[in-house]
Amino acid sequence: MNPQHSMPEHLRVMSAMIRDLRAAGNVLTDEQQILAMLRSLPDKTWDHFKLTMTHNEMVKTFNDLKCHLELEAERQDAMRGNESEDGDIIDCIDIHKQPAFDHPALRNHTIQMTPSYNPQTERTTTTMETSTKGRGGSSVTVTSQLWQRSGSCPEGTIPIRRIQKKELLKASSVKEYGRKKPSQKFNHLDEDIDSYLQLENHSLAILLTEGYSYSGAKGDIKVWNPFVETDDEYSTSRVSLKNGPYMSYEAIESGWAVNPGVYGDRSTRLFVYWTTDSSKTTGCFDLTCPGFVQTSNEVALGAAIYPISTSTGLPYQITTYIFQDPNTSNWWVQFGEKTNIGYWPPDLFTLLRYHAITVQWGGEVCSSKTGIHPHTATGMGSGNFPDYVFGNSGYVKRMRVRQTILDLRFPEWVDTYTDEYKCYDAFYLGDYVEDPEFYYGGPELKQELTTLANSSVGLKASLSSFVLCLKLSLHSMYPNGLTSGVVGVDSKSGHKLLEVERKLDRLNKHAVKSIHSEDGDIIDCVDIYNQPAFDHPALRNHTIQMTASYYPTMERTSTTMKASTKGKRGSSLNVTSQLWQRSGSCPEGTIPIRRIQKQDLLKANSLKEYGRKKPRFSQRFQHLGDNIDSFLQQENHSVAILIAQGFSYLGAQGDIKVDNPFVESDDYSTSQVSLKNGNYMYYEAVESGWAVNPRVYGDRTTRLFVYWTVDSSNTTGCFDLTCPGFVQTSNKVALGAAVYPISTSGGLPYQITVYIYKDTNTNNWWVQYNGINIGYWPPDLFGALRYHAESVEWGGEVYSSKIGTHPHTATAMGNGQFPNWDDYGCISGCVKRMRVRENSLDLRFPEFVNAYADEYRCYDVFYVEDYVEDPEFYYGGPGKSLWCP
């Protein structure tokens, strides 16, 4: 709205007079001259002035208004744009009219002009005197921006790089302009032994840290101008903070980029970026979409950085620091050591509203030609492989993180990662330097790759000759084969056997005592402080909580639970134990761990994925809706469950009948209690119950299990202790050991009671089995589940590649019968005494439940709440049958 329209009459008259005087070149500063000018106005107007103010007030108002109008004129001149030497036009926009406020969450946002504390006052745990010095004292020069040589923006405005029509015309989609290409799972994963690509079209070479809650990250990034092959590719070097599941994360980042698809050329430019769903539908570079609130009038996002490093010239760097304001939760971006550019408000995020769980430093290349032949020629860093001798590659120095306190420190744990080490590599230098350094990058010229490939031919031939000689030597020493079973050292099977041996060494810890169970299992009694959990980077310094901070069996319940060992008409429901317990016990200070055998690992499709459920994929099941009798939501998985949702859950319990269903070789069948949080396809979950899983356990015995994941099993989580994570405290229960006895059709019914609950003092998620606390998942493993669960499920799950197909798998759920009961109890699979814990310590039946089955002709559900003392849930089915061909 034009401010002149809301001015009083006398101020409008003054404004018009001032403009006329300025146009005539008259400054008019003398008080008497001002009064004389006002007296020359029409009598009616002059009378109005005299009635409303004194002579002194008239003069003061006149001068104040003149200053205001002059400032407005300066702003209007500035808003016409400063043309930079490189052709960019930088518009100075009123800070209150910036694009951020077009975001629906920021319509009533109040700008925070500066952080609520000065980040320069943060202490550091190692010296930071190297801010402008490289190794050996060589000068490292900090860059600025090219447009600043052509002008500046006045206070109250922000500089915004003007987007040209030609830049939008180059975009594949105007709707997606400014957004990164979404991250999809790479279809050819693991087909190339030289590639570890996890995401299609993206290749990384990074240093990462995780395992803690991060509220800030910083780094000095050397500035280069790598070659970018086509307009739809880009190369970035940045600092990034993330939270959320691997395939649907929230992220904020800042650094430099060469991105012709967004900026229209191949200049090196300063950028910020954000997303809340791994760039599927949200987020963008700079201010190309609403979100980032800029406060600085000195730095233009997307503007060219100048000067940049060259192989024979001076090294130049930018210092990027992203930090969360502890009072407002805004995520600020600092450029250099003093300039706060602006911030992302917490209203944009869900998980990042609280903290990040991962920090990354390094490079990223986006191209449709990553992971294929021919590969893209787009370079990363300087376009050279890591060069820690002369620094003639991409590098990041002075890497720091901020955790729960305001100290900036080097992270306690870091690791390098590269998707394609033959194209873009990474090198971490931690020794013999004052401060750790990270080098990364890869070549921009196809000729270099060709030369590298040709030079590797001779090396490969030499290695082949060496392997042949080694094989002949071993054969002469061991004519009947190696006792370790590693025969044919140059074969893939030999390589896998070596990997199996290494993994067994990691999984099977040194035993204080071993117990041989009747069923063939070996139970090792392992020192509680030597258990696999502490191999997880987040748990390296974890202090074991030996017992829960309160006794959960003392919780009140909103309905009677005296039917704990009674079924209908008083029939006994017997609680099971574990078979190995008949052969011995583990002493105090140890925990029982089922020993993993070599044949268990050899049966696995992938050692890396051993113990993990098959992922449920990032895309909806492609046959969804093809069969009117199927409601399959996820490929290869079929569930029959009772579900509670709509509240925040801190615990769930159930009495699960124990059966031994038929399971085909590559399948599994489970019955469990599960708690989840996160979106449907990328959730976090903890669960426990019984399973028949020949792929993990090597047989078809019914076994006790726990399971966890933070990304719906795409890359994290596992059964029992087959990966670091679950901290066991009990010396009485062995995870993965056989449950005994089990129910039979003509015999007694047997059950296990499973209770998963959160200790509200430590946030650990405890698992209780038949009244015994087995152990817990620490909150450090999770993002959303650190706080609560959003849904609870009781029931069965079948995994098979033949779910939703013809012929269907014959793997059964429950005991293999459709839901059925009689006056004496369960005939099929069933769960009784279902309880949830919400914000209080009360255990109660949930206020809302719903029964659901993916394939009701194969595995069905039935919920009974009438005519029974306590609601009951029946589920199961045979899989392949007359109704499920």
- Give 529-538 pLDDT, tens digit per residue: 999 999 888 8
**Mean pLDDT of all residues in 534-554:** 83
Instruction: Mention every residue, 6+ apart, whose C-beta is less than 8 A from residue 479.
Output: none
- Does the pLDDT of residue 487 top 70, yes or no? no
Least trusted range by pLDDT, from 2-16, 22-36, 40-54, 477-491: 477-491
Helix-helix angle 55-79:9-23, to 10 degrees:
60
Q: Which residues contact 482 (CB under 8 A, 6 or more apart)?
A: 474
Helix/strand/coil for 460: helix
**DSSP class of residue 522?**
E
Q: Where are the beta strands (DSSP E) in 127-233?
A: 141-142, 144-145, 157-161, 184-185, 199-200, 202-214, 216-222
Tokens representing 530?
């030597």
Q: Where are the domains of the chain?
A: 7-78, 141-183+197-442, 522-550+572-616+633-876
Kindly state the DSSP code that residue 821 receives in the 8-state scheme: E
List the structure tokens of 332: 């600020």
Q: Assess contact for 435 and 397: CB atoms under 8 A.
A: yes
* pLDDT of amino acid 80: 54
> What percent of the chain has pLDDT above 90?
49
Q: What is the pLDDT of residue 244?
A: 82
Higher pLDDT: 490 or 538? It is: 538
Question: How many whole angstroms from its chain centre is CA 58?
Answer: 62
Confidence of residue 125 (pLDDT cuts 50, 70, 90): very low
Alpha-carbon span 52 to 38, nearest angstrom: 14
Q: What is the mean pLDDT of residues 26-39?
A: 66
Q: What is the mean pLDDT of residues 551-569?
A: 43
More confident residue, 395 or 249: 395
Please state, in angstroms and rounded to a whole number, the distance separating the CA atoms of residues 687 and 790: 14
Q: Phi first, then psi: give them for residue 222, nearest 5 degrees.
A: -70, 140
Question: Cis before residue 307, ω within 30 degrees of 0?
Answer: yes
Classify residue 489 by burial, with Cβ atoms within 10 Å: 0-12, 13-18, 19+.
middle
Which pTM value belongs to this model? 0.50
Question: Three-state DSSP class for 27?
Answer: coil
**CA 109 – CA 198 distance, rounded (Å):** 38
User: What is the percentage of the chain residues whose pLDDT exceeds 70?
Assistant: 74
Mean pLDDT (the chain) is 81
Residue 738, strand partner residues: 703
- Report the C-alpha gap between 677 and 791 in whole angstroms: 7
CA–CA dist 732, 773 (Å, integer):
10
Q: Sign of the CA dihedral 38, 42, 43, 44?
A: negative
Name the phi and psi angles at 441, rounded to 5.
135, 180
**Ramachandran assignment for 351, one of left (phi > 0), alpha (psi -120 to 50 degrees), beta (any other):** alpha
Is the pLDDT confidence value at 827 over 70?
A: yes
Q: Is 599 helix (H, G, I), strand (E, B) or coil?
A: helix
Mean local confidence (pLDDT), 843-858 = 93
pLDDT, position 496: 56
Residue showing tokens 């590969």? 375
Torsion of CA 444, 448, 453, 454, to 10 degrees: 170
- Could you give the CA distance from residue 112 to residue 118 in angstroms, rounded to a whole number? 14
| Separation between Cα atoms, residue 590 and residue 255, nearest integer Å | 49
Q: Answer yes or no: is pLDDT of 184 > 50.
A: yes
Give the CA-trace dihedral at 295, 300, 301, 303, to 10 degrees: 180
Judge whether residue 15 has pLDDT over 90: no
Q: Extract the runs of DSSP E, i.e. beta strands, from 466-619.
A: 511-516, 522-527, 574-575, 577-578, 590-594
Tell me the C-alpha distance between 851 and 643, whole Å. 6
What is the model's pLDDT at position 131?
Answer: 40
Residue 114, token pair as written in the block: 């500066």
pLDDT category at 809 given cuts 50, 70, 90 is: very high
Q: What is the 3-state secondary structure (H, E, C) of 340-379?
A: EEEEECHHHCCCCCCCEEEEEEEEEEECCCCCCCCCCCCC
User: For residue 569, is pLDDT > 70?
Assistant: no
pLDDT digits (tens, 9 = 90+) for 721-776: 999 999 999 999 999 999 989 998 878 889 999 999 999 899 999 999 999 999 99
Q: Is the pLDDT reported for residue 192 higher than 90? A: no
Stronger pLDDT, 377 or 52, i.e. the higher one: 377
CB distance 438 to 207 below 8 Å: yes
Pairing type for strands 637-649 and 789-799 reads antiparallel
Question: What does the pLDDT read at residue 435?
Answer: 92
Query: DSSP characters for 656-703?
Result: EE-------TT-EEEEEEEEEEEETTEEEEEEEEEEE-HHHHSS---E
Residue 120 pLDDT level (bands cut at 50, 70, 90): low
pLDDT at 475: 40
Higher model confidence: residue 94 or residue 67? 94
640 burial via Cβ count (<10 Å: 0-12, 13-18, 19+): buried
Identify which has the larger pLDDT, 515 or 4.
515
- Would you state the pLDDT for residue 296? 95
The residue among 794, 879, 791, 880 whose CA lies nearest residue 830 is 794
In the prediction, which pLDDT does 263 show?
92
Task: Check: CB of residue 361 under 8 Å from CB of residue 205.
Answer: no
One-letter amino acid identity for 826? C
CB within 8 Å of 299: residues ≥ 6 apart: 145, 159, 270, 335, 339, 341
Looking at the predicted structure, is the pLDDT value of residue 692 above 70?
Answer: yes
Class for the domain spanning 141-183+197-442: mainly beta
Q: What is the pLDDT of residue 588?
A: 95
Banded model confidence at residue 778, pLDDT cuts 50, 70, 90: very high
